Amino acid sequence: MVFRFWAALLLFCLASSAVAGSATLQALRADLASGSLKPVLARQALVSIPDKLLARWVQDIPIEQFAITGFNQNRARFAARVRLHFVDGRVGFLRLEGEPGPDYRLTGLYDYSSGLELSELIAYGDQFNHGQGKAFLTMLHKRPDAPELATLAADHPMLQALWLAQCSGKPCEEQALAAQAVTDKPALWQLEKALDADLEDYRKISQTLRGALGDDPYLWWLEGQQALLQQRCEWVQADLARAWQRHTEHRLLADVALQCYMATGPGGTEFLDQLSAALGADTLSAAIRNYYQQQGTPVPTLYQPWTVPGDY
């Protein structure tokens, strides 16, 4: 799981030189290039929030690299879809919108990993200073793994999402994930729950995320990783193979697609031929050998010809 943002404005991919040269786009790139989300969050125009208070709500994870995978604007509004690569190896997706210009202002932010929406967080604002809200925020910072948090966040999807965002990549993530309520917002955490439950639910959620984030190879990669972890490769393997065929330059996607292919048991070998042609016979043979060594099982007879370097 990881970071934040979306809203109602339809998003289109970069298409024209006018958009490519957008002052808004240039400013957004500069902010993200800082390696932190702080410059972006400082642009929010929803309400005046002290930096210290905003820092308590939203953890700042160092950004190693980023990609703006969709951008659109007119005179009054802009919308952007952003993929973030964090220094710890995790990947997250943002959806943001606002008023365009070199000094752009944000009015909508959404984290596709946790389902946290900044406008909802800010609307809850004063309630963090007393009663249940204060108890939740205090507990979240002192004991993020406390079981009491589930009770305090019950019937408050925004608090549940905040808990998950704060626990992303930490030991308390499993507890926060278990506390998430059903929602019609697209969120990456839904994949894990769906893969643990029902094939039709999984397909519906996967399609919804694809509609929101596009045919992003890193989204397929995350999906494949989760399927491997939950031993559901039979649900996703064919889709992963087709996704890699659309993104043959993506080595991480090739790796997870190969692992899921082998996890489903010996079948046809056309996919191995395609991987060998794209990656090279030596690379493929090493990947197959490494996979079965890690599993502690021999390479199936059907796949053994592909373990001989340089033969295919």
- pLDDT (tens digit, 9 = 90+) per residue, 167-185? 888 899 999 999 998 888 9
Can you give the pTM of this predicted structure?
0.86
**Closest Cα to residue 255, out of 245, 268, 244?**
244
- pLDDT (tens digit, 9 = 90+) per residue, 277-295? 999 999 999 999 999 999 9
User: What's the CA gap between 97 and 8, in Å, rounded?
Assistant: 9
User: pLDDT-based confidence at 13, cuts 50/70/90?
Assistant: very low
Residue 1's pLDDT is what? 39
Residue-range domain boundaries for the chain: 17-122, 125-178, 197-307
Q: 28 is written with which tokens? A: 């957004």
Burial class (CB in 10 A: 0-12, 13-18, 19+), 240: buried
| For residues 294-311, average pLDDT | 85
- End-to-end Cα, the chain, rounded Å: 38
Question: SS3 for 85-126, per residue?
Answer: EECCCCEEEEEEEEECCCCCEEEEEEECCCCCEHHHHHHHHH
Please state, for a pLDDT cut of 90, what percent of the chain lies above it: 65
Residue 11's pLDDT is what? 30
Please state, for a pLDDT cut of 70, what percent of the chain lies above it: 88
Is the model's pLDDT at 17 over the cut of 50? no
Q: 234 is written with which tokens? A: 């039979």
Range picked from 65-69, 114-118, 296-300 for highest mean pLDDT: 65-69
3-state helix, strand, coil in the chain (%, to 5): 55, 10, 35
Where helices occur in 168-280 by DSSP H, the ranges are 173-178, 189-195, 199-213, 217-229, 233-246, 251-263, 270-279
**Closest Cα to residue 6, out of 220, 174, 208, 217?**
208
User: pLDDT-based confidence at 56, cuts 50/70/90?
Assistant: low
H-helix or E-strand containing 36?
Answer: none
Residue 150's pLDDT is what? 94
Residue 3's pLDDT is what? 30
Is the model's pLDDT at 242 over the cut of 90? yes
Phi, psi of 54, deg, nearest 5: -65, -35
The CATH number of the domain covering residues in 17-122: 3.10.450
Contacts 24+ apart (CB under 8 A), 168-171: 168/1, 168/2, 168/3, 168/59, 168/61, 168/90, 168/113, 168/114, 169/1, 169/2, 169/61, 169/88, 169/90, 170/144, 171/145
User: pLDDT-based confidence at 55, cuts 50/70/90?
Assistant: low
Least confident among 18-22, 50-54, 107-111, 133-137: 50-54
Is the model's pLDDT at 48 over the cut of 60? no
Calculate the average pLDDT of the chain: 86
Residue 10's pLDDT is what? 26
